[in-house]
Amino acid sequence: MSGSSSQVNNRKKRRHVLWFLLPVGLAVLFFNSNLLVSKDERLNVPLAKVKRGPVTVKITEIGELRAQEQVTISAINDKQIIWLVPEGKWVETGDTLVVFESEKYMISRGEAYSQVLVEKAGMTQAESDLEAQRTKEEAARKNYETLPELVKKGFMMESELEQARLTYLEMKSRTRSMQAAVDAAQANVDRAARGLAQQDRKLRQGVMLAPRPGLVVYATVGDEQNQKKISLGMTPFEGMDLMYLPDISTMLVDVEISEVDLAKLRIGQPAEVRLDAYPDTLFQGEISSIADLAKRKISRITGKASGAKVFDLTVKVLDRDVRLKPGLTATVDIIVKEYPEALYIPLEAVFLDEQERPVVFVKRGGVVETRPITIVDSNDRVIIVKTGLQAGDEVLLDRPASS
């Protein structure tokens, strides 16, 4: 265990040396750099051969997938959630997303509907009475219009004609009254219908429907350290985000990059994206935006701002794949530079001499030679060397006992 701890400490020291020599701040991958590591029993120090081949320098950051465009579903009231569409389900336009507690609206809606039926029944009766009254009025009119001729011929008296006239006028008055009753009954029906419509509207507000197709992603609530997703039984406040329906045809990854790396990046620069859920699949991407202003990096452990300054950077995923879903953790490798034919050695092989110059310890037969080198570039695994070494040289990965 002590040997392992010592190796870890040495690795950290060497990385500190590299930061001092090359403030590149890169976390990268490299290809075809199969370093042959062996151990010299006489020196008791691991060795590595100097190799020549392609090396790719990349900035590696971790972010989270999100859709470029999405619809936000927000709470329309402050009622308790009694049903939720499962997260990750694909929904179509008009599908039910959320159902809120609405028992009182259902009761009120039933009462309003009953009132509409009562008022319609009253209007039907009023219309029937009006129709009967109009028949009576028509009969009284005809009777009155036939009597004057009979009075002229002496078959009826003037008093009978007057009585018929008064009866007809009375029938007309009753008809007008009944017409007014029908109008009042219609007004009652309209008022009851408006009340029913209002209750229907309140009831509909208890059910939220999908405005467009999409993949359901729940919103999170709470602070940085106590975040949780919406769930059944929760009572949201009106306007609170409940879920999102992203358009997964265009996906983005948001990351933060160190200020020391800013000068190495540009819009359109190629990137590679790997998902923790599918580590063996590589997706192609490119930088789509870089923030103009720096911000303090927030520690994921403490939730507080640290001293480091970072810039927000967004990578657009160029591939389309059903596995690209919002919320998945993604590792982004931004390709900074590619060296098709580089001379390289392991990070552990580089040390500083008394003048703070980079040196390596080269094994030549049974002798160890201290040799200064010129460094071109590096990543977190290898150092690219310009001068001081040749392919096939063997370098020590730790200081020899006499150094």
Domain 2-62+337-396 has CATH 1.20.210.10: no
Lowest mean pLDDT among 3-7, 102-106, 315-319, 357-361: 3-7
Longest dimension (CA), the chain: 160
Q: Give the predicted TM-score (pTM) of the model.
A: 0.52
Q: Which amino acid is at 363?
A: K
Q: Tell me the average pLDDT of the chain.
A: 83
Number of Cβ within a 10 Å radius of residue 221: 17
pLDDT of residue 142: 87
69, two tokens: 């465009």
Summarize pLDDT for 371-383 with one digit per residue, the tens.
Answer: 999 999 887 789 9
Cα dist. 403→7, 10, 17, 131, 396 in Å? Answer: 17, 15, 17, 120, 12
Q: Any idea which residue has 């370098």 for tokens? A: 395
Taking the C-alpha atoms of residue 183 and residue 201, their distance in angstroms, rounded to an integer, is 27
Crossing angle for the helix pair 103-152 and 158-204, to the nearest 10 degrees: 170
**Which has more pLDDT, 128 or 27?**
128
pLDDT of residue 387: 93
**Mean pLDDT, residues 163-178 taken together:** 90
Q: Contact 48/345 with Cβ under 8 angstroms?
A: yes
pLDDT of residue 272: 94
Q: Where are the domains of the chain?
A: 2-62+337-396, 103-204
Q: Contact 362/368 with Cβ under 8 angstroms?
A: yes
pLDDT of residue 224: 63
Domain 103-204 has CATH 1.10.287.70: no
Taking the C-alpha atoms of residue 263 and residue 28, their distance in angstroms, rounded to an integer, is 17
pLDDT of residue 1: 40
pLDDT of residue 176: 92
- Give the pLDDT band of residue 397 (cuts 50, 70, 90): very high
Q: Contact 389/395 with Cβ under 8 angstroms?
A: yes
pLDDT at 37 over 70: no
**Which has more pLDDT, 52 or 76?**
52
**Mean pLDDT, residues 88-109 taken together:** 80
